Amino acid sequence: AKWVYTFGDGKAEGAADMRDLLGGKGANLAEMSSLGLPVPPGFTITTEVCTWYYANGQAYPDDLKGQVDEALSHVGRLVGRGFGDADNPLLVSVRSGARASMPGMMDTVLNLGLNDVTVEALAARAGDRRFAYDSYRRFIQMYSNVVLGLDHHNFEDILEIYKETNGHELDTDLSSQDWQEIVRQYKTRVEEELGEPFPQDPSAQLWGAIGAVFGSWRNQRANTYRRLHNIPESWGTAVNVQAMVFGNMGETSATGVAFTRNPSTGENSLYGEFLVNAQGEDVVAGIRTPQDLTEAARVAAGSSKSSLESLMPESFAEFNRICGILETHYRDMQDLEFTIEQGKLWMLQTRAGKRTAKAALRVAVEMAEEGLVTPEEAVRRIDPAALDQLLHPTIAPNAERNAIARGLPASPGAAQGEIVFDADTAEKMRADGHAVILVRVETSPEDIHGMHAAEGILTTRGGMTSHAAVVARGMGKPCVSGAGMIRVDYARGTMVAGGTTLRKGDVITIDGATGEVLLGKVPMQQPELSGEFASLMKFADGTRRMKVRANAETPADARTAREFGAEGIGLCRTEHMFFEEGRIVAVREMILADAESGRRAALAKILPMQRQDFRELFEIMAGLPVTIRLLDPPLHEFLPHEEEDLAEVAASIGADIEKLRARVQDMHEFNPMLGHRGCRLGITYPEIYEMQARAIFEAAIEAADKTGSPVTPEIMVPLVATREELDVLKQRIVAVAEAVNREKGTAIEYQIGTMIELPRAALRAAEIAETAEFFSFGTNDLTQTTFGISRDDSARFLAEYVEKGLLPVDPFVTLDRDGVGELVRTAAERGRSTRPGIKLGICGEHGGDPDSIAFCETIGLDYVSCSPYRVPIARLAAAQAAL
């Protein structure tokens, strides 16, 4: 078998697309070599050897040694030296390189092949003893640490003591005699520690280093890193052996690292650092302060140390040219490592550069504008989740983070304000011009107004799908949930985190992207929604098939949704309107009424308010579709549950407290999620849905008159299980439409459809579609009812399921394709079988989740609907799904 691939001298046996076999570093060294770039020659031992090594009790294939020897001679011929040659020695580096870059792996060993004999030859050839012994001491330290397992301190101590006793400040102050003496002490220390001398045989050194690379594939650090990043153990690592070039050969030599574009801003200008007369990791090790590559960067940083551009203009120009070649060739921003040996530039590594979300956006869009990549490719390159970071204010990158607690990153963005512990106070303080953070143990629907008023929400209980998390994401507000180490004392009005006690009015900052809770007002930065962001959205819109709508009911949300590019409303939850100031009283009157006539009287008070709500929504959404869900939650949600609230509510609606208490008890349900809610309310109290339908139709007429762009209301009946339920309700709604048409002399266009959120409805979709003109998949409830898991109670065990691998992800966050997805697919097919072309959408939380959106594309849904702040993410994810 072929275990070894060579590169160098404008040729290579490998190529960039062979990274599985050669690892990322080896594949790109081969590619650069084939491109004719100056790469020190070398060879790559494949990842298959690593696999073989572990499959065979940490041994090597028989024919490996021969192939390595041959490759070594080949490299030697190319550079005109011999490995282990006493007169003209070839020195090499031994570098690990997995498919994915892995910080847990073995560190690189440089200058391998040096011993007491070859170091003299190196000195003689270079005419520079200092350089030779500097290289040797580096080699002994690295090899002893990385391969022999000796602690760095052994060597650092020796060097420090030596410098101190001899009055030297910097490493560069040391002469050849100094380094020679240090090498002697190093070797003595190795022998003391290990009981045997430092290995002098270059071949033994080489195989020691190769073994260390393969051994490191399964060390603790690497295992942990692999687990965290889902890198399979079966991949293995490659080993690269490469001829040394020397950045430590005096003032005309240097070593450095660079990005072809700025990795934090994305700006199209070379960015990097270097050190004169240095080797390898000196630049990142922080031994000396590195210098800027470009003159512009030096000036901007106000540095007095020369740039590479001014110090070595020819090498710089050559490097700049190569950056251009590599960026064009790989069509992406590159992260490069280079060395200059006595004025000659050598390339040692290239790879796609890691970048911030902001830089990723700018680089992708600018590369598309430069014609380097297609718009589709730019779309593909942006992680929708990363886009989320860009849509909210965030903590400034260099701000000091003084975290007092940590919870779950429940809703992205950062927020700051004075802490308050209840919704009413939040609202009041907001009205007085204060920015507040609402801190609760957990939130409930009664806290909505406080959540609206707050800049952000912090809870000490509840998971990523707790009420606080879901509502906050819907509102686009930062939220940290489940910060269990914080103790909230409502009675005292304090929260205690670690040793810190905070009172109402104290200022905190929460970071919904990391889950951190920070003390005080931390510097923030605002999102930028124009420029590259707008360009990327344009690219995405040109690519996607599915429409993107928003879940919104308030005018503010609807406006935000439109600004973010929503193409209609996919879910308007009318119950949210019932909670609003001024109407909750009428709603409670309706619920307390003994007979239909009483309910109708109360509903008559709500009608104009609902009409006004819908009218505003229709005006904002002029020309676009709006789906309105009729009342869904059980009515007791609108009644007070705490004893202390009863009296107040009774007074406000002029009811007897005993009667109210009796009604609350009467309406108690053991399992409200599966109780008297959804269309079941419409069946038992048809007058509620009739009022809502009338409000919708009248509003549609008024809005169309005003804007001239009619909306088509889509009336959606929730929680349907049987076709008969929908038949009954549809008849009622049609009757209202006809009545309104008669009264106003109009002919309103509208559709009546249903949510598919119960397994039975999904299975019976064929017959339901005979009545329903559209389906909207309510995947929150569908997930609850398919798994039989209550979302509100799932936090206690779901995380453990995910941790133990029983579920790949939280099914309330990412749609469970195998189970819930199967029902959605089935319902879509069956619905289309009786009503070809039936409009299909999704309006659960999943409508804003990229992976779930990809699934929606595969089954051909017409649109996804998500919270307004997720609309751009959904536009991008839908575009990626269509590619």
Q: Could you give the residue numbers annotated as active site? A: 467, 843
Q: Is there a binding annotation on residue 757?
A: yes
Query: Residue 244's binding partner, choosing from Mg ion, ligand ADP, none, with beta-carbon cut-off 5 to 8 A by kind?
Result: ligand ADP
Binding segment (CB under 5 A) for Mg ion, from list 247-255, 602-610, 778-786, 821-829: 778-786
Give SS3 for 399: coil
Query: Residue 348's binding partner, choosing from Mg ion, ligand ADP, none, with beta-carbon cut-off 5 to 8 A by kind?
Result: ligand ADP
**Locus of tokens 């009622």:** 732
Q: Is there a binding annotation on residue 154?
A: no
If the CB atoms of residues 416 and 551 are measured against Mg ion, the closer one turns out to be 551
Distance CA 769, CA 840 (A): 11
Q: Min. distance of Cβ 778 from Mg ion in angstroms?
A: 4
Binding segment (CB under 5 A) for Mg ion, from list 55-63, 259-267, 475-483, 771-779: 771-779
List Cα–Cα distances, 646 to 449, 639, 640, 655, 742, in angstroms.
19, 9, 6, 10, 43
Distance CA 21, CA 574 (A): 58
Query: Residue 281's binding partner, choosing from Mg ion, ligand ADP, none, with beta-carbon cut-off 5 to 8 A by kind?
Result: ligand ADP
**Locus of tokens 């690189």:** 108
Q: Are strands 626-629 and 713-717 parallel, antiparallel or unpaired?
A: parallel
Assess contact for 612 and 658: CB atoms under 8 A: no
Q: Is there a binding annotation on residue 298?
A: no
List Cα–Cα distances, 310 to 281, 335, 498, 593, 607, in angstroms.
23, 22, 53, 86, 76
If the CB atoms of residues 346 and 578 are measured against ligand ADP, the closer one turns out to be 346
If the CB atoms of residues 146 and 472 are measured against ligand ADP, the closer one turns out to be 146
Q: Min. distance of Cβ 4 from ligand ADP in angstroms?
A: 17
Assess contact for 600 and 659: CB atoms under 8 A: no
If the CB atoms of residues 93 and 514 are measured against ligand ADP, the closer one turns out to be 93
Give SS3 for 492: coil
Buried b (16+ CB within 10 A) or exposed e, 41-70: bbbbbbbbbbbbbbeeeeebeeebeebbee
Query: Residue 778's binding partner, choosing from Mg ion, ligand ADP, none, with beta-carbon cut-off 5 to 8 A by kind?
Result: Mg ion
DSSP code at position 197: P
Q: Is there a binding annotation on residue 781?
A: yes
Q: Which two tokens mark 114? A: 């040096």
Distance CA 247, CA 244 (A): 10
Number of residues that bind Mg ion (CB under 5 A): 5
If the CB atoms of residues 350 and 481 are measured against ligand ADP, the closer one turns out to be 350
If the CB atoms of residues 716 and 740 are measured against Mg ion, the closer one turns out to be 716
Query: Residue 110's binding partner, choosing from Mg ion, ligand ADP, none, with beta-carbon cut-off 5 to 8 A by kind?
Result: ligand ADP
If the CB atoms of residues 332 and 337 are measured against Mg ion, the closer one turns out to be 337
Q: Min. distance of Cβ 342 from ligand ADP in angstroms?
A: 13
- With the CA atoms of 556, 578, 780 and 694 taken in that order, what torsion angle do they form, in degrees rounded to the nearest 10? -90
Query: Residue 360's binding partner, choosing from Mg ion, ligand ADP, none, with beta-carbon cut-off 5 to 8 A by kind?
Result: none
Q: Residues 299-338: x/- map of binding to Mg ion (CB under 5 A)? A: --------------------------------------x-
If the CB atoms of residues 108 and 144 are measured against ligand ADP, the closer one turns out to be 108
For helices 820-834 and 779-787, give the axis angle rounded to 10 degrees: 120
Q: Is there a binding annotation on residue 573?
A: yes
* 732-761 binders of Mg ion (CB under 5 A): 757
Q: Is there a binding annotation on residue 778?
A: yes
Distance CA 777, CA 680 (A): 18
Q: Which two tokens mark 150? A: 């000796």
Distance CA 32, CA 22 (A): 14
Q: Min. distance of Cβ 248 from ligand ADP in angstroms?
A: 9
Q: Which residues bind ligand ADP (CB under 6 A)?
A: 40, 93, 95, 108, 110, 242-245, 255, 280-281, 337, 339, 348-349
Q: Which of 778, 811, 841, 848 binds Mg ion (CB under 5 A)?
A: 778
349 binds Mg ion (CB under 5 A): yes
Assess contact for 427 and 449: CB atoms under 8 A: yes
Number of C-beta neighbours around residue 305 at 10 A: 14
Query: Residue 781's binding partner, choosing from ligand ADP, Mg ion, none, with beta-carbon cut-off 5 to 8 A by kind?
Result: Mg ion
Side-chain-side CA neighbours of 657 within 13 Å: the count stands at 10
Side-chain-side CA neighbours of 255 within 13 Å: the count stands at 20
Q: Which residues participate in the annotated binding site for substrate?
A: 573, 629, 757, 778-781
Contact positions vs Mg ion (CB under 5 A): 337, 349, 757, 778, 781
Which residues are annotated binding-site positions?
573, 629, 757, 778-781
